[in-house]
A and B are shown apart, each in its own frame.
Chain A
Amino acid sequence: MHVASWFQKCIEILIFYDFQEELVVRPLHSGDIYASFQFRTLWETDFMRGNKVSHYRLFPKSLGQVISKFSVRELHISFTQGYWRTMQWGQPYLPSPPGAELWVWFQDSVTDVDATWKELTNVLSGIFCASLNFIDSTNTVQPSASFKPLGIGNVTDHRFLRYATLPREIVCTENLTPWKKLLPCGSKAGLAVLLKSEKLFHSSFHSQAVHIRPVCQDWQCKTTSWELRQTLNVVFDLHNSGQGKREWSLFKMFSRTLTEACPLASSSKIYIDITDNPEGEQFELSPATSLLSQAMVLGDRRTFSVYDLTQQDTFGSVRSLNLLIRWKSTEGDMLRPLLHAERYVAGYGLQTGEIHTLMYNHHPYRSFPVLLLDSVPWYLRLYIHTLTVTSKGKDNKPSYIHYQPSKDRVRPHLLEMLVQLPPNSVTEVTVQFERALLKWTEYTPDPNHGFYVGSSVISSLVPSTVAMDTNSTRERPLFSSFFPCKEESSYFVRVYTEPLLVNLPTPDFSMPYNVICLTCTVVAVGYGSLYNLLTRSFQIEEPSPGLAKRIANVIRKMRGVPPL
């Protein structure tokens, strides 16, 4: 009887909770190496009714409390150090802009979204040890089309959406530690043992993210559950940490090897992208594995070698797994990413300037629409009448423009456009701006460094070269299943441009005191002479006697003779 009840419990746990971990390694053509961790926790619970759920097992309590207290429907937060070089590295599995990015969909039961958002950012800043508390109305926007819910639910009223970026945010160990704490196994077992901060932050690109959303448990969507995805993407630099040799191993990258899977994980796998290396002419992989898997990622059919950590024989006789990639040739070229974008500031002087955004469509014959989102702080006053969109030297009229002008010290500019990118072309969006003068307390601590303007976001359905897999029920690796895929012929891509660094006219900060002193002195001098003129009475005075006469008088006084 006991055994039966235990068995039942086990089934229950299997249904209610699920944890998966996964690492994808993609050798890049530049010789760098891209490692992407994904940890997924599923928690089946009825969240939409708003009843208070308070018993947590695999799902971290702190995030669960945040979801239930602030009635969050979806939460996406990322911390990134470095900029993803799309042209060298291709598309990332999960894109993120430099700095911190936070976007949240609230449930439609929230009445005061702004107050909830403010409180939520404060709580999250405590949880992740980040400066998210600097998110306020001046850097929060409500995009109307660019950020749609990624989970289930049809609420698309953007009143319940808030989006903010902090491009200046520096990401370091103190953000990684709380992130690791959210994992059920912590950094004690499974793939998370590789996450040593001294190696992770010694890299060209580091991005960690938390995505919470409601998902369907099965294809009929009878039951729903919360999905918590924790992702960590890192690009190790060849020259920086490879000591010049084109050779990579888990130990070299993370200074650790793997010995076990997280015992709580239902699946724990390592994928190595070997698509460009079918015969082993590019690099050599050891230990070899016979397990191969194919997956549709970013519009392409990729082949992966799979290491299943839940199988004991993966670890071999030494009971530890140290994957080794040894490059053989430096040749080979990468499939150019179809969509890619750049941005820069043009102009001279400290009064006006121009923001240029370039969007490249590398598809040889297909044109496709993209959604461009720009959120510009209020102190760059955009002249929206100067907005031009040109492709191939011709004016390209956007089919949809949503523009919300800024209010000084209250809200930023929001510009959203739907632009059709012609095949094999560059589309340039330019807009002029004027730099505002800030009050002297509004300057950041290092104002001469410049002011950051967050990345533009380009979201698009890009035509894919192969038919995409829209069957959502099939077990797919985590890295290929984040963005829901609805069409066979295209896939969703989000591209972030560089953040901008703009100089604003910066005063000398000792100036107020100098001004006070100078004006006071001028006033005092003027006042003094006026005062003298008004109050002094002028009279002619006898010139005072000379020195000789005075001495003579002193002597005469001593002698008792009347003075001269």
Chain B
Amino acid sequence: MATTEVERRRGQLAALSIAAVVIIVGVPLWWRTTETYRAWLPVSQIKELAKLQLQLSADVEVVFARGTVTPEQQKKVPLTQTQEEERAIDEDTALRYRYETRYRTATIMEEDALNQPSAAEADLSLHTLSESPCGSLVVYVIPESSSLLPEDVNVYIGQRRTALLRIGPQMRVGKTLEQLLAHLEPRIKQVLQVMSFSHNDITAALSDRVRFSPDNKESIADSMRAFKSSPGYEITFSLLNPDPKSHRLHWDIEGAVQTYIQPLLTKLSPVANFSIDSQTLYYTMLGVNPRFDTSRSAYTLNADSLAHVINPVEARLGSNAASSNPVLNFLLYVPDAQHSPLYIQGRKKQEVPSNAFHSPRWGGIMVYNVNGFYGSEPEFPVDINIDMAKVMGVFLAQLRLLLGVQSSTPPPGFLVARCGSTGLADWELDRLMWSRSVENVATATTTITSLAQLLDQIGNIVINDNIAQQVSSAVTSLQLAVAELEAGNLGFALQYSKEAILASEKAFFDPSLLHLLYFPDDQKFAIYIPLFLPMCVPILLSLLKIVSEARQRRREKQAKKD
């Protein structure tokens, strides 16, 4: 009896020690050898970014010209007001606009500048006095009697970051300063919305994060037209000559780009890098056959058929071999001699004066009729010099649209200065930078959060150190961008948001993430079962047996005590 008991104890001990060895050595070994390398990711910070609380701060300086405030008011004037406005977009995204308004009176030099005969000259000389930083505004309040502005114009928006605001007729001198400020406030806000950012622009820029409600369709249409924010764009001008037998076309694209396009792009260089090239394509036809209109003895393209024009042409355009930036295509189509002249017809059968159209997020096409060059007895091929000023005027307007420089109609009573040689006013650039930075932040946060989600869901993906590094740098840049937006440093905010977008895209599209081997669970089990099943079943069974025996013994002991 005693020997069997000893034997049984020995067996139990052996089973227990084998189980212990399996658990202490085997399981960690198996775990370590089958583990995938997953570098640490800043998950908590990413979660914070998933709940985005953006604050946009704009500095406004309101300068009272002589004759708008009384001397007593003047004494109180150097003061600062801050207004905040909070808007919740959806449960994860909230916006807060903060306007910091500083009031002061005009200096003598500024007074001199405001005494210039016309608003444009005043604008120019005010600009030479001081340069306001990117993202800030200066509003000059001028007396009602000022001759700077025409009768029906109350606000003049200059080429830089200044606006002239004519004080209303009801604000005669004598009212209190508070009343004056209360009168000015809504109007200044209106100026701000034109010159820096409006709620519609910002929500449109957030389209990557936020699903749209149908009430702001117009801003969606605007944002759908413009290209998505990207660190660089490739601009390609293509001259399509479907009939080289009849037309020998010459276009001075180098000169035209230098004269018309380059100034705009230089101005836009803080927003993105641009590269320009051009090509000539022969024997490229449009995808639709134009219809002959006998009343005008011309061929016409309907607005409805324009959608089918691009596809066959695009096959010839060629993709950009040298970079992966989005391409803006501008095509100049010279119709062949048999189908000339060719006019584009609008939806209401009216002629489109520019004879051009654009395709959202793709580019623009202009039809250039050359039958005026034929003369009385054309001798083919005809040499034709293309009038680049006419062409580039159209393309420049399309380029502004496609880049998202919005030319929304100003509210009544506003006069917007014609943009100068650069094709872009400073405040338009600011506006673009505001919406681009917000868009970049939105895109980068969605990229980073979806990457984090994906990595969280699929445990098999290897996360290398370089990806972790990209993710952390994206998160840092994002935090910096948000902070700079909050501080109102627009230039830095855009810079950081661009870095964030680059790093996040790089992490998201890193090829090493795809190295997830196809190793589904059923196959894993098929490999484990032949070893693990025969090894684990006896261990488990003997453990169960030991437990049940121990329990029984305890019960017996209990029974004995009782």
Contact = CB atoms under 8 A, between A and B. Distances in A.
B531 interface: yes
B18 A264 contact: no
A237 to B, nearest CB: 32
A186 B250 contact: no
B383 A6 contact: yes
A480 interface: no
Contacts of A58: 280
Chain A contact residues: helix, strand, loop or mixed: helix
Contacts of A516: 527, 530
B458 interface: no
B282 A527 contact: no
A520 B530 contact: yes
B319 A62 contact: yes
A349 to B, nearest CB: 34
Given A524-B531, A537-B11, A65 B250 contact: no
Given A517-B530, A531-B18, A539 B7 contact: yes
B283 A524 contact: no
A513 interface: yes
B280 A9 contact: no
B385 interface: yes
B278 A185 contact: no
A288 interface: no
A283 to B, nearest CB: 34
Interface in B488-546: 526-527, 530-531, 533-535, 538-539, 542
Interface string A38-61: 000000000000001011111011
Interface in B1-58: 4, 7-8, 10-12, 14-15, 18
Nearest to B242: A188
Interface residues of B, number: 44
Interface in A170-195: 181, 184-186, 188-189
A47 B531 CA distance: 66
A93 to B, nearest CB: 27
Interface in A52-97: 52, 54-58, 60-63, 65-66, 68-69
B286 to A, nearest CB: 14
Nearest to A264: B244
Given A9-B250, A54-B278, A62 B321 contact: yes
Interface in A99-136: 123, 126-127
Given A62-B319, A69-B322, A54 B275 contact: yes
A537 B530 contact: no
Given A54-B277, A184-B282, A263 B244 contact: yes
A6 B385 contact: yes
B291 interface: no
B190 interface: no
B279 A527 contact: no
Nearest to A182: B318
A185 B243 CA distance: 10
A11 to B, nearest CB: 12
Nearest to A59: B279
Given A54-B276, A56-B278, A520-B530, 11 more contacts: A6-B383, A6-B385, A9-B250, A57-B280, A126-B321, A188-B282, A513-B527, A516-B527, A521-B534, A537-B11, A539-B7
Interface of B: 4, 7-8, 10-12, 14-15, 18, 236, 244-245, 248, 250, 253-254, 275-280, 282-283, 316, 318-323, 381, 383, 385, 526-527, 530-531, 533-535, 538-539, 542
25 contacts: A52-B275, A54-B278, A55-B277, A55-B278, A56-B277, A58-B280, A60-B279, A61-B279, A62-B318, A62-B321, A65-B321, A126-B321, A181-B316, A185-B244, A188-B282, A189-B245, A264-B282, A516-B527, A516-B530, A520-B531, A524-B534, A535-B538, A535-B542, A537-B10, A539-B7
4 nearest CB pairs, A to B: A524-B534, A520-B530, A54-B277, A537-B7
